[in-house]
Amino acid sequence: MNPAGVDRTEVLELYRRHFNAPLAHHLELGGCSIETAGRGSFVVDELGREYLDVATAHGIFGLGHCNPAVQARIAEQLARVAGPTGGLAHDPGVSLRSRLARLLPGDLGRVTFAGSGSEAIEIALRTALLARPARTRLVAARQAYHGKTLGALGMMGMNHLRVPFEPLWTDVRRVEYGDVEAMAAAIGGGGAAAVLLEPVLAGGTIEVPPAGYLAAVRDLCDRTGTLLIADEVQTGLGRTGWMFGIERDEVVPDMIVLSKILTGGAVPIAATVVSEAVAGEADRRADGVDYSSESACWPLVAAAADAAVAYVEEQGLARRAQLLGSYLGEGLDTLAEMFPRFVAETPGIGLMRGVRVRNRVVETALWLQLRRRNVVVGLSLNSAAATPVLRVYPPLTVAREEIDQLMEALYDSLQSLERLRPRAIYALAAPAMALQFRLPTRMLTAAANRADTAPSKAVAR
Amino acid sequence: MQTLAARQEPVVVSARGATLQLEDGSHLLDFASGGLGHGAAPIAAAVARQMSVNPLSTRHFLSLPLAHLTARLALECPGSLEVSYLCSSRSEAVEGALKLAHAVHPGRTKLVAVSGAEHGSTLGALSACGQPSRRDPLPRLLFEAELAPSPVETADLVDRDTAAVIVEPWPGGPDLPVPEAGWLRELAASCAACGALLIADESRSGVGVTGSMFSIQREGVVPDVLVVGGALGGSVLPLAGYVTRRGLNDRVYGRRDPTLHASTTGGNPAACVAGLATLEMVKREQLPARAEASGLRLLAGLRELRRRHPDTVGEVRGAGLFARVRTKTGEADAVAAAALERGLICEVDPGLPGIALRPPLLSTPEEIDLGVEALDGALATATPAGAGR
């Protein structure tokens, strides 16, 4: 019955004892099995069941699971040299650096690699401090996600993730995303050291800013000498239907941070690319100190990432994301109209989409329903969001039929919930939520009651 | 870290053990990267197999390699260190350790570190950096660490306002003094008395390098947090992390959001398989004992160099395959550049009088001898005029 010969309860026990006990609870309550393989848009578990993966771990499987082009480069490089080269150059690293610099607009050309998106944000902040040493203020969006290392965490407005680790930065202004006036006030007349911004907000939510927002922020930065850092960890390399999210507003930031699709779904890597001008300013202040990390760009890692970026370019995946994104977006909009009791809106752009649900109970219930139908969407895992957004990030290589399969599963799942009284939905999801987030029952009951009085009752029944 | 300045962009095309082969057919010995060493067949095979089916985790399923590696680390680590958070760089592992300390002691503001030591290049890790050359260019950091002039003096700085002390049990920087045996026991006692967390950064000295699995075991001390890395990824994939006690972990992460501390690719299946294969190999081939033996060979060679170049070479210290040479001629940069000309990559802190040598665990006796020989030649030419020999 179990071809992989592994026992799920044993693995859960190991997670509990040696890794992350709350995560073990969460995965157990979700009935989550063990991943053993991946192919294209699908993940295979220890029982051989196939799941359509439209969570793609925040986009790291943007080229599908086990992309053949990436796999071929890995096999080739593994036979030559994989590990550290004492600071010396190697072909995959040289190729990846020049490919990124060529692909990026303006004079974004100084590439530094890191082991994760968080670490790449740290590099960007460090560079900003070096290039603007006289300024203390940093600006970010209130609902943004930038990472869990201390510098990146200090920028974030999500209190539940940041507050336990304070004190961090002393002068961070956090503004409403999409609001140019608020941004102008935060930057102030004298300017800030830097503004850190996602082209599409993606911290347990999804919000596409009004057209022109990024251009307006760029303008504010230019006028005050403030550096603009684009956090394109999730949006970069085709996800939004543009090669980079900043292209929608034809903006050139001073720094851009990439990861997710850059990993090729195979290796841990991120990159911070700084404009030559700003890199020069930072260099002068650093006075010869090399802050680069020892392990960030090993040949095997670089080869996989180089193959990934080449694949995005050669297969025209940004364009593909735009076309299929429209198809996906229309489907989600239709569902939102059909099930207003549960779905508040379906924000997104390209193949970066979300389903904003009415409350956290609905989020968990819908996620569980989809899971039963062998579809994995991204749980917001944001215990602070009142109306969380389930994330729909299919691989950019997704087939139209696979989007249809997702729509069918979503429709069936919402239909199932529709048949239930709110109390029953609560009963379905609450135990999972109570254990997962240790939420008081009182709060969950209140959420269930709100679902009861959602505006859609008349439509639904 | 500065390892190369002299040559015109040499390009590495293949590698084996400690030896890098360049595009032009020439070879270099890498005594700067440490780690396991290149081309270990069992590790490459295990990684290739995992890469071809499930290289990274979806995070929406259970991951077998992650479960197995965290369990294995609990077995390998001393005392009751049994909960791991894995990531892909030393810096991020140190960030995780510092986060734990911050959250365990929200009211305490003090972090104690060692002058001259460094723990990574992210902003939290830089806040714990004891090197003025790295700290000073940054106009501000996340917090101010109090720096002890030497490892031995860390114990004196620990008080009830101290959240944590971060030290390298075998001091890693080329220019750091090596403390006398017993200092860690004293530090651990001070930390225990004040409730401060003792963070041992073994990202360079761990996994067999100094002759035992972790160098802290040489002193019989169990820290509150152990930072691991270095050879753990088998010189195939970057892999690091921290390991702590369950009670300590649960105070911060036990009853909260499951993603309060996490990273999308940290502890990924391919890297965890590399880690498991590496730990297996370390045991099977008794690499700590081998490191001890190779280390004695290296140390004997370096002591011979001190005899041959008394005006240039000062103190020589080593533990397993992690040795340091102090230069009497001021900066060691010129020696490192001359060594590179002779085919040896070693590590110096720019402007400081120390060289660190970290040959990989799989270095052969021939490679050790060649490295010492290259350094010999470098010392001969780097001796400044007038110093005489």
In a domain, B36, yes or no: no
Least Cα distance to A259 among B258, B265, B316, B191 occurs for: B265
Structural domain containing residue B316 = 12-30+286-382
Q: Are residues B261 and B324 in the same domain?
A: no
Instruction: For chain B, say whether A58 makes contact (Cβ under 8 Å).
Output: yes
Q: Under an 8 A CB cutoff, do B91 and A19 touch? A: no
- Averaged pLDDT score across all residues of chain A: 91
Alpha-carbon torsion angle B353, B359, B364, B366, nearest 10? -20
In a domain, B388, yes or no: no
Q: Are residues B353 and B343 in the same domain?
A: yes
SS (H, E, C) chain B: CECCCCCCCCEEEEEEECEEEECCCCEEEECCCCCCCECCHHHHHHHHHHHHHCCCCCCCCECHHHHHHHHHHHHHCCCCEEEEEEECCHHHHHHHHHHHHHHHCCCCCEEEEECCCCCCCCHHHHHCCCCHHHHCCCCCCCCCEEEECCHHHHHHHCCCCEEEEEECCCCCCCCCCCCCCCHHHHHHHHHHHHCCEEEEECCCCCCCCCCCCCHHHHHCCCCCEEEECHHHHCCCCCCEEEEEEHHHHHHHHCCCCCCCCCCCCCCCHHHHHHHHHHHHHHHHCCHHHHHHHHHHHHHHHHHHHHHHCCCCEEEEEEECCEEEEEECCCCCHHHHHHHHHCCEECEECCCCCEEEECCCCCCCHHHHHHHHHHHHHHHHHHCCCCCCC
Per CATH, is A68-314 categorized as 2.40.70.10?
Answer: no
Per-residue pLDDT band for A148 (boundaries 50, 70, 90) equals very high
Question: For B101, which residue in chain A has the nearest alpha carbon?
Answer: A165
| A298 interaction partners in chain B (CB closer than 8 Å) | 237-238
**Does the structure show a pLDDT above 50 at B385?**
no
In this complex, which of B11, B83, B88 lies closest to A90 when CB atoms are compared? B11
Q: What integer pLDDT is reported at residue B292 of this predicted model?
A: 95
Q: What integer pLDDT is reported at residue A77 of this predicted model?
A: 97
For residue B86, give the CATH number of its domain.
Answer: 3.40.640.10
Q: Are residues B119 and B152 in the same domain?
A: yes
Alpha-carbon torsion angle B54, B55, B60, B62, nearest 10? 70
Q: Are residues B274 and B361 in the same domain?
A: no
Q: What integer pLDDT is reported at residue A175 of this predicted model?
A: 97
Question: How many other C-beta atoms are found inside a 10 Å radius of the C-beta of residue B49?
Answer: 13
Mention every residue, 6+ apart, whose C-beta is less than 8 A from residue A295: A84, A115, B88, B89, B90, B229, B233, B238, B240
Question: For B85, which residue in chain A has the nearest alpha carbon?
Answer: A19
Instruction: For chain A, say whether B122 makes contact (Cβ under 8 Å).
Output: yes
Tens digit of each residue's pLDDT (9 = 90 or more) over B231-249? 999 999 999 999 999 999 9
In this complex, which of A35, A134, A269 lies closest to B61 when CB atoms are compared? A35
Closest-CA distance, B388 to chain A, in angstroms, reads 31
Interval A101-117 mean pLDDT: 96
Q: Are residues B315 and B250 in the same domain?
A: no
Tokens representing A432? Answer: 């999972």
Domain end, chosen from B263, B284, B305, is at B284
In this complex, which of B55, B103, B250 lies closest to A164 when CB atoms are compared? B103
Least Cα distance to A335 among A252, A418, A225, A422 occurs for: A418
In a domain, B6, yes or no: no
Interval B95-118 mean pLDDT: 94
Residues of chain A above pLDDT 70, percent: 90
Question: How many other C-beta atoms are found inside a 10 Å radius of the C-beta of residue A357?
Answer: 27
In this complex, which of B11, B44, B64 lies closest to A89 when CB atoms are compared? B11
Per-residue pLDDT band for B387 (boundaries 50, 70, 90) equals very low
Per the listing, tokens 């723990």 go with: B119
**Does the structure show a pLDDT above 80 at A3?**
no
In a domain, B68, yes or no: yes
Rounded to the nearest 10 degrees, what angle do helices B246-253 and B90-104 cross at? Answer: 80
Q: Under an 8 A CB cutoff, do B258 and A23 touch? A: yes
Q: What integer pLDDT is reported at residue A360 of this predicted model?
A: 84
In this complex, which of A149, A300, A381 lies closest to B257 when CB atoms are compared? A381
Per-residue pLDDT band for A435 (boundaries 50, 70, 90) equals low
Per-residue pLDDT band for A46 (boundaries 50, 70, 90) equals very high
Tens digit of each residue's pLDDT (9 = 90 or more) over A373-408? 999 999 876 666 778 999 999 999 999 999 999 999
| B61 interaction partners in chain A (CB closer than 8 Å) | 27, 32-35, 43, 45
For residue B313, give the CATH number of its domain.
Answer: 3.90.1150.10
Q: Under an 8 A CB cutoff, do B123 and A15 touch? A: no
Domain end, chosen from B284, B315, B335, is at B284
**Does the structure show a pLDDT above 50 at B2?**
no
Domain boundaries, chain A: 36-66, 68-314, 318-347
Instruction: For chain A, say whether B123 makes contact (Cβ under 8 Å).
Output: yes
| A32 interaction partners in chain B (CB closer than 8 Å) | 60-62
| B252 exposure class (CB count in 10 Å sphere: 0-12, 13-18, 19+) | buried
User: Mutate which of A293, A364, A380, A433 to disrupt the B interface (most B C-beta within 10 Å)?
Assistant: A293
* Residues linked to residue A90 through DSSP beta bridges, in sequence order: B12
In a domain, B104, yes or no: yes
3-class SS of residue A35:
strand
Tens digit of each residue's pLDDT (9 = 90 or more) over B273-321? 999 999 999 999 999 999 999 999 999 999 999 999 999 999 999 999 9
| A437 interaction partners in chain B (CB closer than 8 Å) | 257
Say what the pTM is: 0.94
Q: Are residues B261 and B296 in the same domain?
A: no
| B30 interaction partners in chain A (CB closer than 8 Å) | 84-86
Q: What integer pLDDT is reported at residue B199 of this predicted model?
A: 98
Q: Are residues B278 and B295 in the same domain?
A: no
**Does the structure show a pLDDT above 80 at A428?**
no
Give the DSSP letter of residue A210: P
Q: Are residues B100 and B212 in the same domain?
A: yes
Instruction: For chain B, say whether A429 makes contact (Cβ under 8 Å).
Output: no
Q: Are residues B323 and B267 in the same domain?
A: no
Decide: B168 and B205 in contact? Cβ < 8 Å: yes
Mention every residue, 6+ apart, whose C-beta is less than 8 A from residue B146: B110, B111, B112, B113, B157
Q: What integer pLDDT is reported at residue A453 of this predicted model?
A: 46
Domain end, chosen from B284, B302, B331, is at B284
Instruction: For chain A, say whether B8 makes contact (Cβ under 8 Å).
Output: no
Total count of domains within chain B: 2
In chain B, which among 348-377 make CB contacts under 8 A with chain A? 350
Q: What integer pLDDT is reported at residue A384 of this predicted model?
A: 67
Q: Are residues B270 and B347 in the same domain?
A: no
The dihedral region occupied by A178, where left means phi > 0, alpha psi between -120 and 50, and beta the remainder, is left
Tokens representing A363? Answer: 């989020």
Q: What integer pLDDT is reported at residue A26 of this predicted model?
A: 86
Per-residue pLDDT band for B161 (boundaries 50, 70, 90) equals very high
Q: What integer pLDDT is reported at residue A436 of this predicted model?
A: 54
Q: Are residues B308 and B198 in the same domain?
A: no
Q: What integer pLDDT is reported at residue B176 of this predicted model?
A: 73
ipTM of the complex: 0.95
In chain A, which among 284-303 make CB contacts under 8 A with chain B? 285-296, 298-301
In a domain, B347, yes or no: yes
Type of residue numbered B120: G
Tens digit of each residue's pLDDT (9 = 90 or more) over A25-40? 889 888 899 999 999 9
Q: What integer pLDDT is reported at residue A430 of this predicted model?
A: 66
Tokens representing B63? Answer: 């991951």
**Does the structure show a pLDDT above 50 at B3?**
no
**Does the structure show a pLDDT above 70 at A206?**
yes
Q: Are residues B377 and B319 in the same domain?
A: yes
In chain B, which among 209-238 make CB contacts under 8 A with chain A? 229, 233-238
Q: What integer pLDDT is reported at residue B330 of this predicted model?
A: 74
In this complex, which of B28, B142, B257 lies closest to A383 when CB atoms are compared? B257
Q: Under an 8 A CB cutoff, do A301 and B238 touch? A: yes
In a domain, B2, yes or no: no
Decide: B343 and B296 in contact? Cβ < 8 Å: no
Mention every residue, 6+ apart, whose C-beta is less than 8 A from residue B221: B169, B184, B185, B187, B188, B198, B200
Per-residue pLDDT band for A446 (boundaries 50, 70, 90) equals low
In chain B, which among 259-278 make CB contacts under 8 A with chain A? 259-271
Interval B22-26 mean pLDDT: 94
